[in-house]
Structure 1
Amino acid sequence: MTSNYTLRDEIRDYWSARAATFDEQVGHEIFSEAEREAWRELFLRHLGSGNGRQALDLASGTGVISHLLDGLGFQVTGLDWSEAMLARARAKAEARGARIRFVIGDAERTLEKPESYDVIATRHLVWTLVDPIVAFKDWHSLLKPGGKVLIVDGDFVSETLVKRMIRAFERLTGRASSTSHTPDAMRETHERILQRVHFSRGARAGEVVSLLRQAGFAETSVDYNLKRIHREQARHMPLLKGVERATQHRYAVVATKR
């Protein structure tokens, strides 16, 4: 590994390596129409119908959120730093006949045209940011006046009481709440990355809101009502894993540009 190999490079390569199996995991791909409808309801609640408005899906991965936005009538651009992810996203779009623009780029420094989007959506991106204030300022510049950013994320790091109880149960019974097929080396890379990102101790909604305001966003609100999504996801997960997910600090933050 060369000396100019940055943390961002490592994050990009990590997710590129995950691309082949990304859609096999609950929370990445959507496995039921009931969950899809729950996501649609969340987006409609905060962003409204697309009506041809311009939407940017940041860290679009294999295009799951891009396709949801497309289905709501937005003109969608999906931006991701991994060519492997984008290849899968483009294949999905071609199979569906969806006219989604997928481009390669860094979600912290997009290089997209200022004031070119009506909405920006992200799912499970913010917790991986190296410099969130730089990213949020960039996102602010991309939005038209009155534009909104919708951030769906959470604190996946902090130990909760339920999480400790589940770990204790696993130790006592010798059973795990889920079976991981992730190679040890990849898990080690994930842990190494997590220790160096900004939200290494967990992305709490309050801090995300504070940084958004520092970046120039005006109205901000936090929506913790994601129970419908979590309930549908839990149907495709081991019981204890579903309980753990439902009790994590997960949220949607909405912020508006004046």
Structure 2
Amino acid sequence: MTTANSNYSIRDEIRDYWSDRAETFDQSVGHEIFSEAERQGWQRLIKKHLGEGDGRSALDLACGTAVISHLLHDVGFSVTGLDWSDAMLARARAKAQTRGADIRFIAGDAENTLEPPESYDAITNRHLVWTLVDPPAAFGEWFSLLKPGGKVLIVDGNMGKETWVKSLQKLWARVASKQASDPVSPDMVMRLQKIRERVYFSGEMPAQAVADLLAQAGFENIVIDRKLSDIHWAQARRMPFLRGLDRMVQERFAICATKPD
């Protein structure tokens, strides 16, 4: 990573960070799915807001190793996964080949996809919005990509809001070493923190703030869904106690919004 280069932007830094995370990305609970209970929870969430795929087109933005892409494929969508990390896409393509899933993968920026207007029935993303440099512009882009009546489904959380459990974790860290099973190194944690300080939602990201930006982009029927406990409980059961408890009390949400007909 060459930060001395004046052309090296925060967008480049985000891309390179996730490229470096690609090798261990699927080792983390909350990234890959490790139980049938969690898989069913995700599928319920998708069908609740987007319905059955029935061959409709879906664009999974910042698809990473294609966890959400496969969930969409499993419920019948014709899926395109977009990511601007070649390392992530390489793993996504290998996973799809292993599973025999017909998913199209393309390299691109989620804030400027270069995909044709009105070409998708649904757009999804997970833990992407907090990384956006310009969410208003990104939401305008997503609005243009959807067919009339199409929906965007965002899964994210107010990660900048510190829970009482996180405070307890920090206290515990002073007297105990970091969990050896955590695949994220202290250096990577520091890089992520520096990125967080420079993106649009550098502090808290409440669901209503995201919903307001979606409304400004032209979306209607905006629904904030906080009923994700089945997913989070399945994840928490596979985490160390304090981390799992934090997962259960964090302000996480899904937001579904519709492009008017």
Q: Which amino acid aligns with 1:198?
A: Y
Quote the offset at 1:170 in angstroms: 4.4
Aligned to 1:17: 20
Structure 1 contact 178–238 (Cα < 8 Å) conserved: no
Matched, 1:188 2:194: no
Deviation at 1:183, TM superposition (A): 2.9
State the shift of 1:167 in Å.
2.9
- The CA distance in 2 between the partners of 1:115 and 1:180, in whole Å, is 41
Distance 1:176 1:99 in 2: 40
Q: Contact 1:126 / 1:203 at 8 angstroms: preserved in 2?
A: no
Specify the alignment match of 1:49 in structure 2: 52
SS at match of 1:24: coil
Match of 1:105 among 104, 108, 124: 108
TM-score by length of 2: 0.95
- 1:230 maps to which residue? 232
Counterpart of 2:165 in structure 1 is: 162
Which residue in the other structure is 1:256 paired with?
258
The one-letter amino acid paired with 1:251 is F
Question: How far does residue 191 in structure 1 lie from its aligned partner after superposition?
Answer: 1.2
Note the 1:101-250 alignment, pairs <5 A: 101-171=104-174, 173-174=175-176, 179-250=181-252
C-alpha separation in 1, matches of 2:248 and 2:109: 30
Deviation (angstroms), 1:87: 0.5
1:80-103: CA deviation from partner (whole Å, max 9, x where unpaired): 000000000001111111110000
Question: Structure 1 residues 2 and 169, CA, compared in 2 at 3 Å: closer, same or farther?
Answer: closer
Q: Would you say how many aligned residue pairs link Structure 1 and Structure 2? A: 257
Aligned-pair distance for 1:158? Answer: 1.6
Separation (CA, whole Å) in 1 of partners of 2:129 and 2:184: 22
State the shift of 1:217 in Å.
Answer: 0.6
Unaligned runs of 5+ residues in structure 1 are none
Give the share of equivalent positions with the same residue, in percent: 59
CA contact (8 A) 1:154 1:202 kept: no
Deviations 1:233-258 (A, max 9, x none): 01110011010011111000010000
Once the two structures are superposed, what CA deviation does each residue of 1:58-101 show, in whole Å capped at 9, x if it has no partner? 00000110000000000000000000000000011111111100
The residue matched to 2:208 in structure 1 has which SS? helix
SS at match of 1:253: strand
Q: Gapped runs of 5+ residues in structure 2?
A: none
RMSD of aligned Cα (Å): 1.4
Report the equivalent of 2:31.
Answer: 28
Answer yes or no: is the 8 Å Cα contact 1:63–1:89 preserved in 2.
yes
Aligned with 1:219: secondary structure?
A: strand
Question: Partner of 1:67 in structure 2?
Answer: 70
* 3-state SS, counterpart of residue 255 of structure 2: strand
TM-score, normalised to structure 1's length? Answer: 0.96
Judge conservation of contact 2:53–2:77 (CA < 8 Å) in 1.
yes
